[in-house]
Structure 1
Amino acid sequence: MIINFSVPVETNRHTKHYYLNMENKESFPLACVGRDTYIVDGVISSGADFTIEKGYAVHNLQIGQFSSIAHGSDFTMGLGHNYLNLATGVSELFRADTEHNLVEKYKEKGQILIQNDVWIGHNVTVMPGVIIHNGAVVAANSHVVKDVPPYAIVGGNPAKIIKYRFSEKVIEKLLTIQWWNWDDDKIRENKQYFRSENIEAFIDKFFEEAVNDLRKMKEAEVNKSNKTYLFFPDFSEPYFVWERVIKEFTKKFKKNKDCQLILFIEEDYAIKNQELINLLPQYIEGIYENENFACSIDIFIGNMETERTIFKKVDYFVTNRSKSTILHSEYAYENNVKVISGVDTPIFS
């Protein structure tokens, strides 16, 4: 499935989902694009139409705030083949049966994360499973097959690091400040810095403020296991993945008592949806009765502060398609937490 995709900057003042109407299906979340990000024109090459028929959708494009993407971009997701098989094709002659299995042996990647203040030149192809981190630049005609570090300038086929925009010390401080997460008013008040090459002046003014804000944050109180996975259940999202995440986690780590899945639920959401939250333990108990798993699943209800600090207590972060995915991927990076795509199949390989 090839979809033409463009996002004019003048109409994208706020982070929003873009949807695709699929035949006999509810609108599918094609992409989530952050405020003041533009895509001149490009295509999304997706296998979502194949995997939806199996009961899930291997597809997710997330783009952060203040990013610039030139014409000819190609985002490829969920279109892999298993080259380890005798045949790489997908003919019906090769099928052992007609049933669809939710958990395939071959890992199908279906997520691309492009963070904030990223500049992608024309005719760039981004492959599935890639994270392009904050402040990165991708040169024209590049083919991106692996993660791009923060503020790196990459180019070529496959894309490789050419240099970095700033020194390691400056990059570290900019990642602490995270200006792209400021509200509109604060950016407007300090707009003189954003068209200036005097990066040191910007850092001198805002770095200590950012550090002090981090110090004030309340630590999340979590009893951590040896391997702890963090997931934010996407109850309200179309084509949600929370059920698959829980089921696949219990199957994968069924006999491992040292593995833990933390389900983080925002306080405000929990208050407004108390009946749903009360049913969640019953849902988990129902899976336990069938699987008798040794791994643990814990529900954590927290606020915006603990949402950030809980990343200090986990080893893995499992993504979904929600608007907060890019922000959570930033928290994962700053705490050296490995990102696992919750839209891939299987999720836990």
Structure 2
Amino acid sequence: MSGSAEPSKPESVRTLMTQSPFYPVLQSFIRPDAGIDVVGNEYESHVQIVSGTEIQGRCFIGRGTWLNNATVYQRTRIGRYCSMARGSALGAPSHPVSGLSTAVLFPSICELMGDYETEIGHDVWVGANATILSNVSIGTGAVIGAGAVVTKDVQPYAIMMGVPAREVRRRFDEETCHALLVSRWWEVPHERLIDLPMDDVREALKRVTAMRKASADIESAAIEHLEAWLGAPDAEPSV
């Protein structure tokens, strides 16, 4: 109705809007709480879904993940704090090409395409118009470059580019990648992650280690590993 006030939003949604610099220019639907929708998709909290995103069914979307006009095919699991750019296709099935037809109108074609699960780890960034095929596993921290087509499993913290996608390098040196995986920082409560120095991995992991040690919610061996890594001199940057 013309001139009517905009409906009020829950406090949790208003807070998320002020935290996201992209919200004013993108029509987003923010799920502040966990839940399951009518087609069996399961969501953790703080998921942002930009208008135009299609989530087909039986998917899992982890906390803090951003979906920007992406297509998420059925039985795709996405971890926490992932960023899926415009036009990305996640868990795309392959059509059989050796038979009479490739059309999904025929039930037998759907059967041949299979009912595979696609696994995407935490803190994964998928660039614009990139495609991840079904039955593929993407390691935590990986980056999939714009326009890349991923046809096989991707290692944690690998940067992938091209068609078919190939690894060009890792985001960090081997020791740092391992420390990040051991820390499982994405398990820390969301409100405690907000103020971490995201541009300083060592300082951020120092604070995460202190949090997890204080709460005793991680194995002692993991704490020992992180403390040893933090006590070591900085490694040379990955090239």
Gaps of 5+ in 2: 1-25, 41-55, 223-239
- Output the amino acid matched with 2:202: E
Q: Is the 8 A contact 1:137 1:154 kept in 2?
A: yes
Task: Write the mapping of 1:78-157 to structure 2, written as runs, cut at 5 A.
Answer: 78-81=93-96, 83=98, 87=99, 89=101, 108-157=114-163
Residue 200 of structure 1 is matched in structure 2 by: 202
User: Given the superposition, is the C-alpha separation of residues 64 and 12 from structure 1 closer, same or farther in structure 2, using an over 3 Å criterion?
Assistant: farther
Match of 2:32, SS?
A: coil
1:215 aligns to 2:224 (yes or no): no
Aligned to 2:165: 159
> Compared with structure 1, are the counterparts of its residues 80 and 118 closer, same or farther at alpha carbon in structure 2 (3 Å cutoff)?
same
Q: Quick check: 1:140–1:155 contact (8 Å CA) kept in 2?
A: yes
CA contact (8 A) 2:90 2:132 kept: yes
Question: Matches of residues 235-246 of structure 1 in structure 2 within 5 Å?
Answer: none
Offset from partner CA, 1:122-178 (integer Å, 9 cap, x none) = 001110111111111111011011111111111110111111111100010110111
1:11 is paired with a residue whose SS is: strand
What TM-score, normalized to structure 1?
Answer: 0.43
The residue type paired with residue 75 of structure 2 is N
SS in 2 for 1:193: coil
1:68 counterpart = 2:83: yes
For 1:166-220, what per-residue CA distance to the aligned partner results, in whole angstroms no more than 9, with x for missing partners? 11000101101111111123324xx1322x2x21223344448758731389xxx
2:196–2:204 contact (8 Å) kept in structure 1: no
Structure 1 pair 207–157 and aligned structure 2 pair: CA distance change class (3 A):
same
Structure of greater Rg: 1
- SS of the residue corresponding to residue 75 of structure 1 reads strand
Q: Match of 2:219, SS?
A: helix
Deviations along 1:312-333, one digit per CA (max 9) or x if unpaired, are xxxxxxxxxxxxxxxxxxxxxx
- Contact residue 91 and residue 136 of structure 2 kept, 8 A: no
Higher helix share: 1
Separation in 2 of the partners of 1:158 and 1:167?
24
**Unaligned regions of 5+ residues in structure 1, if any?**
1-6, 22-27, 47-58, 218-349
User: Is the CA contact 2:91–2:135 (under 8 Å) kept in the aligned structure 1?
Assistant: no
* Separation in 2, partners of 1:73, 1:126: 8
What is the aligned-residue RMSD (CA, Å)? Answer: 3.5
Name the structure 1 match of 2:179: 173
The size of the alignment, in residue pairs, is: 175
The answer as to 2:60 corresponding to 1:32 is: yes
For the residues of structure 2 that align with 1:16 and 1:135, how far apart are their CA atoms?
Answer: 25
TM-score, normalised relative to structure 2: 0.61
SS at match of 2:128: coil
Q: Sequence identity, in percent?
A: 24
